[in-house]
Amino acid sequence: MYQTAAEDHYLEALDVARHLVAMNPSSQSALHDLVVSLDKVGDVFLSADREIAQNHYLESLRITRQLAAANPASQEAMRDLVVSLNKIGSLLTPVDRAAAEANYLEAVETSRQLISYFPDDRVHLQLLGYTLQKLSSLIEDVKPKEAARLREEIRVILCQLKDYFKSNKGPVGSTREIRSNRDRTTRRNYYQHARKTTGNTSGSHTQ
């Protein structure tokens, strides 16, 4: 099967991430980077081969479940679990709405736990709002009253975020920022490993 340059890049990065986990299977950082790489491969294959995308998303979800269970007080582990659940929910929406709903509901529950554990971090409120939006869109045809209730909760969340950002002169973080930071960490580890394995210690890479 023909692969694009982006697919080749993310598959190579995934190989590096797997190797780093194999060298240190108990490393939370290495496992987190593996999750990010799996998600990226899933994203890049999503339009071309949904089965490949699903396999990588499911592996990512399995790892994030393990990390969240082992580290229930870790914001990163719990956020990664929410992201993985949302990706699976989106993937399943066209083919299995019941399974998609189950994933979104778990993502909502996990987001609520994050908010209860870390009430001052508004990123978790953003994650909850995003997940509620996905869930309400999924069920609005079959559960209109529940969808309406979710939309009202989303409205309240948006008001809370607006007031918070206004009083703090702008957002202190976002889901996009989380993904950006995850991507930079993965790229940094990839290039460091590549330099070690090739013996090339000169020069620098834009990250």
| 114-124 confidence digits (pLDDT tens) | 999 999 888 99
Statement to judge: residues 106 and 156 lie in one domain: yes
Does residue 84 belong to any structural domain of this protein? no
Q: Is the pLDDT of residue 186 over 50?
A: no
Does residue 190 belong to any structural domain of this protein? yes
Does residue 85 belong to any structural domain of this protein? no
Cβ atoms 190, 13 nearer than 8 A:
yes
Would you place residue 66 in the very low, low, confident or very high pLDDT band (cuts 50, 70, 90)? very high
Kindly report the pTM of this predicted structure. 0.78
Q: Which helix (H) or strand (E) holds 179?
A: helix 175-198
Helices 97-117 and 122-139 cross at an angle (nearest 10°) of: 160
| 116-162 confidence digits (pLDDT tens) | 999 988 899 999 999 999 999 999 999 999 999 999 999 999 999 98
Statement to judge: residues 166 and 185 lie in one domain: no
Residue 146 sits in which domain range? 98-173
> Structural domain tally of the chain?
2
19-23, 66-70, 96-100, 181-185: least confident range: 181-185
